[in-house]
A and B are shown apart, each in its own frame.
Chain A
């Protein structure tokens, strides 16, 4: 299995709703990431988890709450979002580089989030 699986693929939520995005990988990668991508822009890092611990938070508002229940799963809990939070949310995972092996920094297909 060489994939990062994200669910749901599309999500529409109101500003008072609470929802969660889910990400799963079974490649044994010990680092997992959340990126946010606005239209016609490159992905921007939000959070980094290393060995299930939060290692980087790029000053993301508290209405976004990440969680890493185990080494294969990564969640992003959403609460009280604003319309400007509408974007493509990408999950990624990576492994430590091993000489002779193809380095993997793999992205999922993303969740298209619309906040109304």
Chain B
């Protein structure tokens, strides 16, 4: 199935550093979601973006919905050890009753002390 291009594939950073990752698509999406997944657990929704150009924050996380509707960015400021995990972007064609999520390939984040 279709996947979104997500980069970087993995990151090794020190505690306190800022993190940026992005997701690009050849198709337009009307909603972008960002999830974090810990080992052996399901993805947990971090941020949802509904409008092109929208910038939304959730604590130390900030995400943007690209103007072209074909990309999205996630920034994490002042990383801490519990930020470790896999981050997935996901695009939705619509937010009707039932919608198929298209996932990015994931960014694996490791934080060292």
Contacts and interface: CB of A to CB of B under 8 A. Distances in A.
A110 B42 contact: yes
A31 B45 contact: no
A41 B98 CA distance: 23
A94 B98 contact: yes
Interface in B17-49: 31, 33, 35, 40-45, 48
Contacts of A106: 45
Contacts of B96: 96-97
Contact of A97 (B3, B45, B50): B50
Q: Which of B31, B33, B42 has the most CB of A within 10 A?
A: B42
- B contact face: mostly helix, strand, loop, or mixed: loop
Interface string B82-109: 0000001010100111111101111000
Chain B interface residue bracket vs A:
20 to 34
Nearest to A30: B97
B43 A43 contact: yes
B100 A109 contact: no
Contact of B97 (A44, A50, A102, A103): A50
Contacts of A4: 42
B59 interface: no
Interface in A5-60: 6, 30-31, 33, 40-45, 48-51, 55-56, 58
Interface string A89-116: 0101011110000111111111010000
Interface of A: 4, 6, 30-31, 33, 40-45, 48-51, 55-56, 58, 88, 90, 92, 94-97, 102-110, 112
**Closest 3 A-B residue pairs measured CB to CB?**
A97-B95, A42-B103, A107-B42
Given A105-B33, A110-B41, 16 more contacts: A4-B42, A30-B97, A31-B98, A42-B103, A43-B88, A43-B101, A48-B98, A49-B98, A50-B97, A94-B98, A96-B95, A97-B96, A102-B48, A104-B45, A107-B35, A109-B40
Interface of B: 1, 3, 31, 33, 35, 40-45, 48, 50, 88, 90, 92, 95-101, 103-106
